[in-house]
Structure 1
C-alpha cells in the first residue's frame, strides 16, 4: 500500500467516523414524547427490583432520587445518547455513579421502549376517544334540535328522498360510535405490559412482571417475551382504527362543505375564513383540512404496514421508524375530530332553504310508489307509473295521467287523491317513514334515546379508564415515596 493510499484511507475513515452514523441512529429528539413515560417505567422497574431483592433499598433510593432530579431538569437537559432510555440511564449514572447502571438489571431497551410506547399511546388514544365523545355529543344535539327540519336526501349526489337534519346527523353519530368501539378495543390490546421480557428471551433474574404491570396501570402482561419485545401490531391496529375514524370525518366534512355551497348551512366564523381577494366569500377551510386528514392517516397506515412487513422475529432497528406513524396519526385525527365537532356544534341550518330543496327532483316519488303498492298495485308496476309521471310533469296531474297510461284505470280507483297529495309533500313523506332507524320524528326520538344511552355507557367506560390510570399513578407515587 502506498503512502498516498494510506493517507486516503485515513481521510475516508475520518470523514465517515462518528457523526453521520450516530445522528442517523439517534431518536433522542423524537423521544421527547415518551420522556415522562420512560421515567414512569424506570420507577416501576426499580421499585419492583427492590421488592424482589434484586437490588438493595439504598440503591433503589439513590436511583429514584436521581430520576426525580432528571424529571425536574427536563428532556432538554439530558446528555447525548442514541435514545431517551440510554440518555436517562447515563444521567442517573452521572449523578450517583456506577450503581445507577443497576436500574437496567433484568430488562433490555427492547422491552423498555415497547412499554414506553404503550404507556404513552394509552394516553393519546384516551384523548382521541374523548374527541369522539365530543363529536357524538355535538351530533346528538344537532339531531335533537332538528327532528323536524326537513332537508333533501341524496344518492349519487342526485335528489333522492326528503329526510331531516336529525336523520343525517344521527347517521354520522352511528358511524362515530363504531369508530369509538374500535378504538376502545384497540386500547385493550395496547394496555398490556411487555416489561420484563428483556431483549426477547426473558431474564435469569427472579422478577415480578405482574407487579410492574400493576404499578404502570396495565391490565396484564404480554406473556411471550419474544412477542413482548418485537410486536407492533398494537400500533397498526390503533392507526387503522384512527384511519377509519378519519374516513368518517372526511365524509362528514364533505357533506357539510356541499351543504354550505348550496346554502343549507352556514358555518361559524370560527370554522371558516374569507378570501384574501374576494370579500364576499366564506370558505369552509377547517372542514377542507378535516377532509384531507383521511389521506394522511391512510398514508401512515401504509407506511407502518410496509415497515412491519416481513421483519424477522425479535427486535429490529426498523421499529424505531415505526412509532412515528402512530404519533402523527393520533395527533392529526384527534385534532380533526375536535374541529369537526366544533364546526357541527356551531353551524346554523337554514330551514327555509332546506325545505324548498327537499322536494326538488321529484324527491317524493318513492313515497308515491309505496302508497300505490300499499293499495294493491305491484311495486314494480307502481315504480313504472311514477317513473312515467317523473318524465311528464312530476306532479299530481302527471301521476293521474300515468295511471291511465300504465294501469289503464283512474288513479282514484287505486288510491284516495288526498293520500297522493299528502305523499307528494316532503314533510308528509318524511313522517310516513316511521320504520326503525327512519327519519320520521318518532323514529328519530327512539334512535336518539338509544344513542344517548350508548354514549353514556362509553363515557362511563372512559371515566373508568382514567380512574384506573390515576389509581396506578398514585400507587407508583406512593411506592416511590417510600424510597425517596
Structure 2
C-alpha cells in the first residue's frame, strides 16, 4: 500500500480504503492527545457490557487484556486508521481476533469521541485552574510586601491618582479569581458523560449509562442522545474562559512592559532577553509573548465558533476540526500563565522612583476636590476649582488662587489649609481612600485576608474535583483487574 493510501481499518474495510481523500479524512495523528482517554472509555464501556450481560465475561477479559497491550505499545504503534478510535479497535482485533469487535457494541464513534474529548479536556481544565490559582498566590505574596509602596495610577495612560503596588496587583488577582470560577464552571459542565447516546438516536441494547459515567468519574450523563453525540459547547465554554484569562494576562504583561520601560520595575534576567546587536538591551520578551497569547486564544475561540456555526443536528464531520482549537488555546494560555506568574514573582519594584513620580500630573487633584466637597461644596464646583489649580501648577498656591478666583473667598473660609497641604501628598491621598476595595493600606490588608480565604476555597474546589477523578481512575483499574 502506498504512503498516500493507508491500509483499511475495521470501519472502512475495503469499500472505503483507497482514494486521495483517505489521509484528508484521518485524524489519527492529532488524536494522540486523547489516546489514553479513549482507552479508559473503552475499558469502562466493556466493563459495563459485561455487567449487563451483553458480552461474556471471558470475552470482556480478552478485550481488556488487549487494551492493556495497546496502551503499553503506545499511540505510535497503532495500525493506520481513520481515527484513534478505529485504530485502537483494529489493534485489539489484530491481537484477539473478531471477538475484539464486540467492544464497539451499543455505541458509535460519535458518542465515543464526545466522551473522550470531555475525559481529556477536564484534566486540562483542572491543570489550567491550578496554574491560575498559583498565579493568584504569587500576586498576593508580592502584594503583601507592597501595601505601602505608593505608585502612579493611570487612566488612558495619563497620570490619574496615586495608588499602591499592592492595590494594583490585587486588581489582577480579582480578575484571575473570576477566571478560576469560569474554569471550575466549565469543568462541571464538561464533566458529563455522552456515552450511550450512540450515533445520535440511542441504542436498543440494555446499557447502563450511569454506570459508565461513574466508572469514568463523570458527575452525570448528557441525557438526550442527540445532544450527547453532537454537543460541543463544552469546548466553546472552556475556550472562552481561556481567552478571557489570556486577555487578563495580556493586560498585566502590557503594564509590566510599560513599567519596565519607565524604570518602575526591574524584571529578572530569567524572564528577559537581550538584543542580537545591541548588547546594552534588556528586553521583556517573555511578557511580550504572554501578551501575544491572547491572540492565540481568541483565534482559537473564533475558529471554534466558526466551525460550529450553522451545523445541522446531529453529528457532522466538521466536528473533527473543532476540538483542536480548544486544546491549542488551553495549551497556549497555560504556558503564558506560568510565565506571567514567574515574571511577577521575581520582579523588583523601584519604590523610590514610584514614590517620586506618584504625584506627577497633579495626580492628587481628585483628593483636593473631594476635600472641598466634604465641606459642603458641590463636587462639580470643587472640580472646577481644582481644574483651574491644575492649569496653574497644581501646588498649594495654585489651589489658594483658584479658590479665590472661583469662590471669591480665602481658602480657609472653605477648608482647613493644612488639610489641603496634606492632601497634596500622594501617601496621604492613598491613606485617605479607605473605602472597601480602596488602596489605603488597611483596606488592602483586609482585602488580602479575604483573598487568602478565597484562594483556599478555590484550591479546595479544584482539589476535590481532581481527587474525584483520581478515585474514579483507581476504581476503574480495580474493576478491570477482576477480569484478569
Please tell me whether residue 260 in structure 1 is matched to residue 260 in structure 2: yes
Note the 1:266-415 alignment, pairs <5 A: 266-415=266-415
- Output the CA distance in 1 between the equivalents of 2:225 and 2:110: 10
> Hey, what's the Cα distance between the residues in 2 that align with 1:378 and 1:66?
81
Q: Distance in 1 between matches of 2:282 and 2:30?
A: 38
Distance 1:225 1:156 in 2: 51
Other-structure match for 2:198: 198
3-state DSSP of counterpart to 1:82: coil
For the residues of structure 2 that align with 1:226 and 1:385, how far apart are their CA atoms?
67
d(CA) in 1 for partners of 2:435, 2:102 = 67
- Unpaired runs of at least 5, structure 2: 1-15
- Name the CA distance, whole Å, in 2 between partners of 1:201 and 1:135: 45
Q: Which residue of the partner structure matches residue 57 of structure 2?
A: 57
What secondary structure does 1:197 align onto? coil
Which residues in structure 2 correspond to 1:70-469 (within 5 Å)?
Answer: 70-469=70-469
1:20 Cα offset (Å):
2.5
The CA deviation string for residues 314-361 of structure 1, in whole angstroms up to 9 with x for no partner, is 110000000110111010011111111111111100001100110000
Task: Write the distance in 1 (CA, Å) between the matches of 2:116 and 2:154.
Answer: 47
Aligned positions of 1:17-32 closer than 5 A: 18-32=18-32
Over the residues paired in the alignment, what is the CA RMSD in angstroms?
Answer: 1.0
Matched residues in 2 for 1:342 and 1:176: separation?
A: 15
Aligned partner of 1:4 in structure 2 is none
Q: Which residue of 1 aligns with 2:6?
A: none
Question: Aligned partners of 1:183, 1:168: CA distance in 2, in Å?
Answer: 24
Corresponding position of 1:6: none
CA–CA distance in structure 2, aligned partners of residues 418 and 391 of structure 1: 22
CA distance, structure 2, for counterparts of residue 19 and residue 138 of structure 1: 55
Report deviation, 1:19.
4.9
Counterparts of 1:306 and 1:216 in 2: how far apart (Å)? 31
SS at match of 2:163: strand
Aligned-pair CA distance for 1:281: 1.2
Structure 2 CA distance for aligned equivalents of residues 462 and 185 of structure 1: 11
Deviations 1:277-320 (A, max 9, x none): 11111111111011111111111111111111111101100000
2:96 and 2:156 map into 1 onto residues whose CA distance is 69
Offset at 1:208? 0.5
Distance (Å, rounded) in 1 between the aligned partners of 2:416 and 2:393: 20
Aligned to 2:5: none
TM-score by length of 2: 0.96
TM-score, with normalisation over the residues of structure 1? 0.96
* Helix, strand or coil at the partner of 1:20: coil
SS at match of 1:362: coil
TM-superposed CA distance for 1:376, in Å, is 2.2
The answer to whether 1:481 aligns with 2:481 is: yes
Q: SS state of the match for residue 152, structure 2? A: strand
Cα distance per residue 1:387-430 (max 9 Å; x no partner) = 11111121001111111111111101212221111000000000
Cα displacement (A) at 1:91: 0.5
Q: Deviations over 1:103-130 (max 9, x none)?
A: 0000000000000000000000011101
Say how many residue pairs are matched: 469
CA separation in 2, counterparts of 1:142 and 1:407?
A: 45
SS in 2 for 1:153: strand
Report SS of the residue matched to 2:151: strand
Deviation for aligned residue 1:17: 8.7
What residue ranges of structure 1 are gaps of 5+ in the alignment? Answer: 1-15
